[in-house]
Structure 1
Amino acid sequence: MKQGRGQKTFLESIMEGDRMKISASEIMKCRKQALIFEISVERGWDSYKFIRRWMNSEVRSCLDHEDPAFSSQSRYYLLEVFEEDNRMESGETYDIDMMHWIGYLYSYWHYAHEVTSKEILAMITPEDILKNYDVLHTQSNKYTLDWIYERVNRIYRQESNNLIR
């Protein structure tokens, strides 16, 4: 990511536009995604694959862009449409509480910072977040997102320094 003098990085521009207060309808959408992530565990789907496929799916993209045909649908309908394009296999599942939390966090992140699901996955892996679940899930969403951005910025600075050398 090339940056000219005086230009903000992608992450700086996100933080500057940080809304952090989301509407009641957006909170309901966060809860819906959290429950979708729970259902994936109940169905025995491989959590690692599910998170990546869901976050990169057309369904999630439609939700990111507030497509009314998707935003108003039940979680079961959204999963049905998702399954039409994504054959999910059984596999190792994460703890249902972890999946609920990260599903909610990802959706909250989208609404609070206006970034797409694909951009979220490009910044930090779910595994890197979930390694710190024990501490992060007890914190506010703002604290958790600040923690994530701090790590992402540190990685970005290290990569930039390595390119300069």
Structure 2
Amino acid sequence: MHPLEKFEYCPRCGSHHFVENGVRSKKCENCGFEYFMNPSAANVAIIKNSEGEILVTLRKQEPAKGTLDLPGGFTEIGETSEEGVKREVLEETGLNVTAVHYLFSLPNVYRYSGIELPTLDMFYECDIEDETVLAANDDAAECMWIKPEDIHTEQFGLRSVRWGLVKFLERQK
């Protein structure tokens, strides 16, 4: 299902004459308001410890509950992507990020409440303050350090995280 199918009424005037206007938008035939469905900003952290292992979490909630993941999540209104990745890492792992280094971005689709939401996932390599305070919180059921050579991307439940890990690991060779 395309996410715009759930929007039946114009958010400006409330008219039911809110119709498809191409692949990315709907337009109100009553007041002329046009709504575009653009991707939501999300971020992903790749964190290495002093041994060169990568921090991996186990997803506590759907989508992809019980599969492996990397810390990250959606950027909130009013924050930069870099601020968002720092906040998400802290919420999920208790780790304080001291530096954020942009790597690349990947388009993704995030299935939530029966709707496939387009996202743009930005990947960062993050430096942390103290790896000994690691603790699973929030969306993470468990946190673990895994050697890069022991990572099997098919065990990661979210498509963009799998692709991002493949891309990151290839760059490390």
- Same fold by TM-score greater than 0.5: no
Bigger proportion of residues as helix: 1
TM-score (norm 2): 0.28
Q: Relative contact order (alpha carbons < 8 A, sep ≥ 6): 1 or 2 greater?
A: 1
Greater gyration radius: 2
